[in-house]
Amino acid sequence: MKVALVHDWLNTKFGGAEHVLVELARLFPEAPIYTLLYNPEVCGHALEPARIRPSVLQRAPGWLQRRPRYLLPLIPMAVEQFDLGGYDLVISSSSAWSKGVITRPETLHVCYCYSPMRFVWDYWPAYLDEQRVGPLRRGGIRLLTSRLRLWDYYSAARVDRWVAISHTVANRIHKYYHQEARVIYPGAELDRFQPSDRPKTAATNPEPYFITLSNLTPYKRIDLAIAACNQLGRRLVVIGEGSDRRRLERLAGPTIEFAGRSRLLAGAEAMIFPNEEDFGIAPVEAMASGTPVIAYGAGGVSETVIAGSTGMFFNQPTVGSLVEALDRFRASDYRTTDLTARSRQFSAERFRHQLQAFIEKAYHEYHH
């Protein structure tokens, strides 16, 4: 069986979707990886460069590749140019584009979907408000988005089988594409995370702190965590990089610090997870580290965190709602054994086993 993998792009970040792609590449070690744009400095450490097949957009100047939003009008064409005629199975790893590839009738196309294209569906028009552009450019964005919404809807019909990263995403697939999806949660490399041996009490941790772990973009709502900890005078360690870092640093009071990725996760009282995510691998990593999660109770985190056992939820995406939750939180209410046991439900091994079984069954049904 000849297999090809297709991923949106591999040139700007190495996040949760890229970790899933690595697992797919391990499942199918001979499969080439088609992608819109590729930068070996971003993912060359995890994916063999010889397997990568970039699109025609790779010919664009480097400054333009680093700003893919300016390439939006060309992306549907670039996706449809991939020649996938020689494959029996195509697996698209898609949060927007790769599910739009064109395959032959005898080829099974399975899409592992992180979400339907959010900026044209459930995150619209908030996406437009975030752009902070004048009336003329706003009009252009509206027109382009309308056209992309049509392409997204019709290109979704090219998928033969859908797999969603969470029930939250499966519901979006049903709503916007009128398709049913099987839910298979992404997996985390849990061996990289170990709980601290020290109990999380004031006696053993005289400088307790909360932690966030995220790409620093406006959508992630790290500003909520900063404002709440500013108000309460609680220490918060912000781990991550991104376009919103400078703004967040200006909001930060004396109890807020910014750090690179580190081993601070296991020592934190709790992880604050203030935004609605499609799945959210960071809370799983926190639980694997023996750290409970204080999360906005919407999206994928409501499927991974168990209230009262591995964390707690706040009900509104507001500073006041988060402050109330922080006031109620007590680290001593949570047991390390409960946290690590829950994290094992989202292991990379479990993901690979479930996805492989699903694909084998789907392939058999498709060809019989």
Task: State the Cα–Cα distance between residues 352 and 24, nearest whole angstrom.
Answer: 8
The CA–CA distances, whole Å, from 241 to 13, 18, 213 equal: 10, 17, 9
Question: Quick count: other Cβ atoms within 10 Å of Cβ 150?
Answer: 11
Percentages (nearest 5) of helix, strand, coil residues in the chain:
45, 15, 40
According to the model, what pLDDT value does residue 261 have? 62
According to the model, what pLDDT value does residue 14 have? 83
Give the SS3 label for residue 275.
coil
The CA–CA distances, whole Å, from 15 to 12, 313, 324 equal: 9, 24, 31
Task: State the Cα–Cα distance between residues 368 and 141, nearest whole angstrom.
Answer: 45
Ordered by where they begin, the domains of the chain are: 3-187+348-366 (3.40.50.2000), 190-346 (3.40.50.2000)
Handedness of CA 95, 100, 103, 106 (dihedral sign): positive
pTM above 0.85, yes or no: yes
Q: Are 243 and 220 within 8 A, CB to CB? A: no
C-alpha neighbours within 13 Å on the C-beta side of residue 28:
23
C-alpha neighbours within 13 Å on the C-beta side of residue 326:
28
According to the model, what pLDDT value does residue 199 have? 61
According to the model, what pLDDT value does residue 200 have? 62
Task: Give residue 122's Cα distance to chain centre.
Answer: 16
According to the model, what pLDDT value does residue 263 have? 65
Structure token pair of residue 85 = 């005629």
According to the model, what pLDDT value does residue 206 have? 63
pLDDT < 70 positions in the chain: 198-206, 261-263
Tokens 């079984």 map to which residue? 357
